[in-house]
Amino acid sequence: MRLKALPVLCFAAAALACAQTGAPWDYAGKRGPLVWGKLDPAYRTCSQGHEQSPIDIRGAHLDKALQPIEFHYIAGPVTLENTGNMIVVHVDPGSYIVADGVRYQLERLEFHHPTEEAVRGKLTDLGVYLVHKSADGKMAIVALRLTMDRGDPNAVLAELWPHLPKSAGTSMKVTDDVDPAGFLPADRGYWTYIGSLTTPPCTEGVRWFVYENELTISRDQMRTYTAIFRMNSRPLQDTRGRRIEASE
C-alpha cells in the first residue's frame, strides 16, 4: 500500500472542523461541551437550540411507512485527517444515499469514543458517522455503533487504523480502495429523528438514522483509537419531546 503524508489541514469535502472558522473548542475543560455556546456567537445554537444531538434512543414509534435507506457507495481512496478533536475520513465524490426520496452525497466519516447516541441509556465503545449532504444543503447522518462485547475485529477499521494520523493537523492518504459500505450491518433496521450536528456550531435540522444492530471492534482496535483520543463525544441532550421513529 502506498501512503503519503499530507501537510494540508482542510479538504474540499471538508469536515466540521475544516468548515468551521470559529473559536477553538474541546471535549473537556474550559472549552468543553458545557460552554460551547459561549465560546463564539456562531455556536449559540449549542446552548440555545431545541433539537440538539446526541440523544438517548428510547420509546421509539414503529412507522411501517419508513422505507429502507438506499445505499449507493463506491470504494475508493480516502484521506484520514486528525482535526485535533476527532479522526475524519474524507472520501472522493460519487457515493450517496437515497432516504425518503432525497439524495444525499456522502462527504465524510467521523469517529467518536464512546458512541454519542445511547440506546435505552447504554453507550457502546465507538461510534461511526457517515455524514451526507443533499444538493440543497440538508444534512443526513447514518450512525453505526461498535462494541467490544464479542471481541471480533472490524474489517474496515483493519484497513484504516494502521494509518491513523496521530498528531492534530496531520493527514494520511490511503491509495488502496476503501468501501464505506463495509460498515453497514446485515440487518438494516434503524431509528430516525431530527437533530443537530454534535460539534460546534451544532447546526439543527439534521436527519439522523441510527442503525439498531451493533457492529464489532476488537480490543486492539479500540486501544489504537483511544491512544489518540481518550474521549471525544458530546454528552446526551434533552429530547424535548421529539418523536423517534423505528423502521420495520
Q: Which three cell numbers stand for residue 170?
A: 496531520
User: pLDDT tens digits for 189-217?
Assistant: 999 999 999 999 999 999 999 999 999 99
| Domain boundaries defined on the chain | 3-246
Q: Does domain 3-246 have CATH number 3.10.200.10?
A: yes
- Establish whether the linkage from the previous residue to 180 is cis, with ω within 30° of 0: no
Q: Which of 133, 185, 134, 182 is nearest to 158 (CA)?
A: 182
Binned at pLDDT 50, 70 and 90, residue 21 comes out as low
Q: Which three cell numbers stand for residue 68?
A: 429502507
Q: What is the pTM of this model?
A: 0.91
User: pLDDT tens digits for 32-53?
Assistant: 999 999 999 999 999 999 999 9
Give the whole-angstrom CA distance, residue 200 versus residue 217. 28
pLDDT of residue 172: 97
